[in-house]
Amino acid sequence: DIFSQKVVTISIALTVVVCSIALLLPITRQISISAGGVALAGGLSGAMLGLTGIGGPPMVLYLLASRLDPRLVSSFLMLYVSLISLLMILASTAYFQISLFVMLVTLALSPVFFLGTMLSSRYVHHLNPKWVRKISLLFLCLANGSFLILQI
């Protein structure tokens, strides 16, 4: 089945790896942020989140390919991930797809997430923006590449 969760998830992971490798190559021209581009990346992120539970890659790749300061991109992505996570928790709770145990674990781990966010906002901006970008893209490649290897 072409729309099975495994096929869709592998397709998304493969797309992220290919796009990340493309973004790691020397860039001669970066894209400008536009309302249409944000709507497209956000729409793809929402569709992917609904289909697979993985919603960030289109927006992350779109912002990493932009001319924006990597520190601004990092701050925006932290906000984006926080809001998407909160919306997923609320949606899952509304449809009774989340147990009390999962809710308690989520609440217990929330301080770790926010501590990581605060530490990265405080210390990442001291790093070279080009290296932050490369490290982010390498992480996307490694995470999704290892996922692909496990699925094949």
Say how many residues make up the chain: 152
Rounded CA-CA distance 42/63 in Å is: 11
3-state secondary structure of 5: helix
Residue 122 above 80 pLDDT? no
More confident residue, 112 or 71: 112
* pLDDT value for 2: 65
Residue 78 above 70 pLDDT? yes
Strand-pairing partners, residue 31, are 66
* pLDDT value for 46: 79
Average pLDDT over residues 73-78: 76
DSSP code for 66: B
Kindly report, residue by residue over 20-62, the tens digit of the pLDDT.
Answer: 777 777 766 677 888 888 889 888 887 777 766 666 677 877 8
Q: What is the pTM of this model?
A: 0.54
